[in-house]
Structure 1
Amino acid sequence: MFALIDRTCIDPERPALGGRLAGMMGFFNASPVDLSAEIAHVLVFPEWQGTGIGARAAALLTRLCLALPSANPPGLGLRRVQWVAHVDNAPSRGLATRLGMKHEALLRWHRVIPEGRPGRESREGDPRPSRVSRDSVILAMCCDDWEEGQRDHVQGLIDKPLKLKN
């Protein structure tokens, strides 16, 4: 997990942080054997949504994954980085698309989700009838995409000025 820090303002309760906590994101299902990782558990606090901080953080993690260890800055040299989102989560899917990730799959009935969340209702007789499931989409960027131009696209997102609200 990585903290997203807005360094344009100091949190008076946590001055050692060097800014205000704007969210977090990290890796999930990372595999050194398969040279792959998923950017997941993305959380950008409401005050920072729409500022570009989430896109920059996701771009930095994508670069960390796909850049070779010999690059400057060095990366992990993974072959694949993916993003799995609830099919109805347009902001999440949109962020992955802005990164340059390609839609690869729809996973129907992918995960059971808490009651009260939108999703597919379970069938009659289901062992967990009080729960619903979600469909997920998989988007990904691979090392060949990276080498064929996505590196520059991702760097452009990293370099893009943020729209912080100070």
Structure 2
Amino acid sequence: MASFSVFPFHVGEISNERVKLTPFNPEQHCETFFRISSSHPEIYTHLPLLPPTSATELESLFYSNSTTHILSFSNPESFAFAIIDKTRPPSPEDPEGELAGTVSFIRTSLTNLCTEIGFIVILPPYQRTHVATNAVGLALRLAFACTENGGLGLRRVHWSASTMNLASSRLAQRMGFEKVGVIPWHMRFVKGKINGKVGNGRELPPGSDPEDLWRDTLSLTLAWDRWENGAREMAAEAMER
């Protein structure tokens, strides 16, 4: 279960009247997540992961011994949440609503008091609704809230998006993130052309496998002072729409 996580912060649930973030429990959430996502492989288009072939395979990623995989409970930099849409009826996955997707804290540093919001997957039935903005907004509130109030007390939250994934970068900016710059040739999608990935649209470097693709990444950031001076209200406004 999620309690096996070695994430260095104590993390519980956070919610509002529309959405809840709860620690991802593979036994409770993987079956439904896989069932809905398996017919929509395009949700993995910009991610450095291939669609799992079964709920068991998805579950195994969380219980992997890897200390670097973004979903592994053995990775001290990552923590995964299930997103619950509280406007839907109770479900086997949660008594307060339906499983609508997942979002994670990744690349978290206890020393530098920072994290990145990543592996955001909103399942297709819940896309273009209130779910994405509320999930990200709740994650930001948790990240920036002081530890005395149950938050992580972080000073900076990062966001990375493929330059071809305009929906991701627009969401980040709606929530108060600012563009920092573009990292060219940031991520290689091995055999990306046959695995449903989208590249940067540029000619491959000399000597490349012709089936590979590369991702350029837009880097965005939100620091504590911007959060305290307008971004918190900006995020709240987006969440209310």
TM-score range normalised by the length of the shorter chain = 0.7 to 0.9
Classify 1:16/1:89 alpha carbon distance in 2 versus 1 (closer, same or farther; 3 Å).
closer
In structure 2, list runs of 5 or more residues that go unmatched: 1-79
Looking at structure 1, the residues matched to 95 and 104 of structure 2 have their Cα atoms a distance apart, in angstroms, of: 18
Q: Please, what TM-score do these two structures have when normalized by structure 2?
A: 0.60
Bigger drift between 45-54 and 33-42 goes to 45-54
Aligned positions, number: 156
Gaps of 5+ in 1: 162-166
Partner of 1:124: 206
Identity of aligned pairs, percent?
A: 34
Higher strand share: 1
Cα RMSD of the aligned pairs, angstroms, is 1.9
1:164 maps to what in 2?
Answer: none
Q: How many Å separate the matches in 2 of 1:130 and 1:157?
A: 40
Residue type of the alignment partner of 2:228: E
Q: 5 Å matches for 1:1-166?
A: 1-10=80-89, 14=92, 16-71=94-149, 74-113=150-189, 114-115=192-193, 116-119=196-199, 120-126=202-208, 128-158=209-239, 160=240
Distance apart, 1:144 and its partner CA = 1.1
- Scaled by the length of structure 1, the TM-score of the pair is 0.84
Q: Is the CA contact 2:156–2:221 (under 8 Å) kept in the aligned structure 1?
A: yes
Structure 2 CA distance for partners of 1:15 and 1:124, relative to 1, 3 Å: closer
Moved over 4 A (4+): none
Indicate conservation of the 8 Å contact 1:4/1:57, yes or no: yes
Cα distance, 1:125–1:5 mapped onto 2, change above 3 Å: same
